[in-house]
């Protein structure tokens, strides 16, 4: 068990009687978060699923909203903005944006585990504007400049 960080959580009226997000196993990186509403997402559609929760994440941390692999593999349900970013100063309702890449409508019941939340440290950058950048072997090469997807060698 690594360090634990306390995150203030407030249940909104429609989140009452739902369990808080939980780690399913001791070593889980993500807490499964539950839907606080019932909705069916049509193939190709997107929807911001209510969780009934509002958070106060400590400064210096964020929460990432990530897809669940089982939903992605079995139903084509994923998080289009993955990882969704929950800022430490956000006090509105945490919502899980889902997209249905599958071929069937996907029905969500209240209490279903629709995504997972990963608490992560945040390092804010400070710009150092310069006239020239240092040289590197890569230079401006990118976007496949080292070759396609075939293995090296």
Ligand X SMILES: O=c1ccn([C@H]2C[C@H](O)[C@@H](COP(=O)(O)OP(=O)(O)OP(=O)(O)O)O2)c(=O)[nH]1
Q: Interface with ligand X includes 38 (CB under 6 A)?
A: no
**Per CB under 6 A, which region of 20-28, 90-98, 125-133, 144-152 contacts ligand X?**
90-98
3 carries a ligand binding annotation = no
Q: Does residue 119 have a cis peptide bond before it, meaning omega lies within 30 degrees of 0?
A: no
Our CB check for ligand X shows the closer of 22 and 81 to be 81
DSSP 8-class letter at 13:
G
- Residue 11 DSSP SS3: strand
Instruction: Report 62-81 residues binding ligand X (CB under 6 A).
Output: 65, 81
- Binding residue for ligand X, selected from 84, 106, 108, 117, defined by CB under 6 A: 84
Nearest to 82 by CA among 94, 93, 97: 97
Sheet with 22-23, side-by-side order of all strands: 22-23, 31-34, 113-121, 61-66, 84-86
Supply 9's token pair.
Answer: 């959580």
Our CB check for ligand X shows the closer of 52 and 102 to be 52
**Per CB under 6 A, which region of 3-11, 15-23, 88-96, 119-127 contacts ligand X?**
88-96
153 carries a ligand binding annotation = no
Our CB check for ligand X shows the closer of 84 and 102 to be 84
Calpha distance 72→100 (Å, rounded): 9
- Residue 80 DSSP SS3: coil
**Which residues is 113 bridged to in the sheet?**
34
Residues forming the annotated binding site for substrate? Answer: 68-70, 81, 85-87
Per CB under 6 A, residues contacting ligand X are 65, 81, 84-87, 90, 94-95, 97
Residues forming the annotated binding site? Answer: 68-70, 81, 85-87
């Amino acid at each position: 068990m690594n360090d634990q960080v306390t995150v203030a959580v407030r249940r909104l009226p429609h989140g009452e009687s739902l369990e808080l997000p939980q780690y399913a196993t001791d070593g889980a990186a993500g807490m499964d978060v539950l839907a606080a509403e019932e909705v069916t997402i049509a193939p190709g559609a997107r929807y911001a699923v209510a969780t009934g929760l509002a958070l106060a994440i400590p400064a210096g941390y964020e929460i990432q909203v990530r897809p669940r692999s089982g939903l992605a593999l079995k139903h084509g349900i994923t998080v289009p903005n993955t990882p969704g970013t929950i800022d430490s100063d956000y006090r509105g309702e945490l919502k899980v944006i889902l997209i249905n890449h599958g071929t069937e409508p996907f029905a969500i019941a209240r209490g279903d585990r629709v995504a997972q939340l990963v608490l992560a440290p945040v390092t804010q950058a400070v710009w150092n504007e310069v006239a020239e950048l240092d040289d590197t072997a890569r230079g401006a090469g990118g976007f496949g400049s080292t070759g396609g997807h075939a293995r090296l060698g």
